[in-house]
Chains A and B, each alone.
Chain A
């Protein structure tokens, strides 16, 4: 096959990661469909299911908001903080993820492009 132009930086390692992530999707969405025998998770694991998803998201999201280049943000002129505050407020008002994204991005882009914060 001829080399594709302009698609640089595709690396085999990332493609392998994507293949494994596909496996994770199949496994998690079908975990209880796999065995014909009746089986249940141990009690502590069922309990853990209550907290692991939100913990995983907290561990990814919160540092991305309050940190910059490996340290806590030192200035209040940080568009991410205000965007998250606005998005959170919208979420608790309307309970809607799409509106959370839109509200957050409106605030984020106005502060970043309008006032030049965080650039």
Chain B
């Protein structure tokens, strides 16, 4: 809700703007590359612009591109995007107490606009969830901060993505720049590799996706996720069992 005057007048709005501006080059580079990758994956300019403006989720966009190009069925693309976006479900569980005083429509807008870095900065600045006795002024300050940070995030992401879409056709296909999209996903994937069992999930999923490659409709992705998550849950439960004797 970065356009709400009550937020823009609030000093915390500008604190949010400043915090996110410190990482705006990174967001911009990632957006630029996503813009190039969309066009290079074979999407038309109209499709790439629509995807940028509406989907507004870099890693889900990058994961969806090869699937769209391969003609995978809709539900496979949506299931893959949903899984890539699952971290946002975790964020929403965390942010729930901060937004429940807002009407549903505003909660949906706040949720839609809160991407990874806005969440990270917000959680760092306001580590303690509001209680029933939290003064309304504090709730307003939090929302103003979030509005400022999501606003600058939106702006740098959108402008860089559009530049990427515009530049994509000037770059020869043989350069294989679409591979930058895979490297970006690699970076996000590695940043999630924070425990041994997660690394196991990653390796098992990758191997399963290769083994099941010949399945039709890109079903190898869904099979791989199911196998990897199932196996991780099993190992997890075994270890829990061992710990409790």
Q: Which residues of A contact B (CB under 8 A)?
A: 4, 6-10, 14-22, 24-34, 36, 41, 44, 47-67, 70, 72, 79-80, 83-84, 87-88, 91-92, 95-98, 100-102, 104-105, 108-109, 112-113, 118-119
Contact between chains at B29 and A101 (CB < 8 Å) = yes
Q: How far is the CB of A112 from chain B (nearest CB, A)?
A: 6
Contact between chains at B185 and A61 (CB < 8 Å) = yes
- Top 4 closest A-B pairs, CB basis? A62-B206, A30-B111, A97-B187, A56-B83
Instruction: Return chain A residues, CB-CB under 8 Å to B33.
Output: 101
Q: Per-position contact with A for B34-76: 1 when CB-CB < 8 Å, else 0? A: 0000000011111100110011110111011010100000100
For B57, give the chain A residue with the smallest CB separation: A25
Q: How large is the interface on B (under 10, 10 to 19, 20 to 34, 35 or more residues)?
A: 35 or more
Q: Complex formed: what's the CA distance from A8 to B99 in Å?
A: 43
Given contacts A19-B54, A100-B190, contact A30 B198 (CB under 8 A): no
Q: How far is the CB of A88 from chain B (nearest CB, A)?
A: 6
Given contacts A22-B54, A33-B96, A55-B202, contact A62 B207 (CB under 8 A): yes
Tell me if B8 is interfacial: C-beta within 8 Å of chain A.
no
Q: How far is the CB of B77 from chain A (nearest CB, A)?
A: 6
Q: Can you give 9 A-B contacts (C-beta < 8 A)?
A: A20-B77, A28-B89, A33-B107, A49-B86, A50-B197, A51-B232, A60-B66, A97-B184, A108-B183
Q: Complex formed: what's the CA distance from A59 to B225 in Å?
A: 7
Q: Complex formed: what's the CA distance from A20 to B85 in Å?
A: 14
Which secondary structure dominates where chain B touches chain A?
helix
Instruction: Return chain A residues, CB-CB under 8 Å to B236.
Output: 47, 50
Tell me if B30 is interfacial: C-beta within 8 Å of chain A.
yes
Q: Which of the residues B44, B187, B208 comes within 8 Å of A87, measured between beta carbons?
A: B187
Tell me if B193 is interfacial: C-beta within 8 Å of chain A.
yes
Q: Complex formed: what's the CA distance from A34 to B103 in Å?
A: 10
Contact between chains at A58 and B60 (CB < 8 Å) = no
Instruction: Return chain B residues, CB-CB under 8 Å to A58.
Output: 189, 201-206, 209, 224, 228
Q: Which of the residues B61, B74, B210 comes within 8 Å of A16, measured between beta carbons?
A: B74
Contact between chains at A108 and B187 (CB < 8 Å) = no
Q: Which of the residues B54, B174, B221 comes within 8 Å of A59, measured between beta carbons?
A: B221
Tell me if B192 is interfacial: C-beta within 8 Å of chain A.
yes
Contact between chains at B64 and A17 (CB < 8 Å) = yes
Q: Complex formed: what's the CA distance from A83 to B180 in Å?
A: 10
Q: Which of the residues A18, A44, A91 comes within 8 Å of B190, measured between beta carbons?
A: A91
Tell me the residues in window 107-166 of chain B with beta carbons closer than 8 Å to chain A beta carbons: 107-108, 110-112, 114-115
Q: Complex formed: what's the CA distance from A4 to B47 in Å?
A: 13
Given contacts A21-B78, A51-B233, A53-B192, contact A32 B92 (CB under 8 A): yes
Contact between chains at A30 and B55 (CB < 8 Å) = no
Tell me if B3 is interfacial: C-beta within 8 Å of chain A.
no
Instruction: Return chain B residues, CB-CB under 8 Å to A14.
Output: 43-44, 47, 68
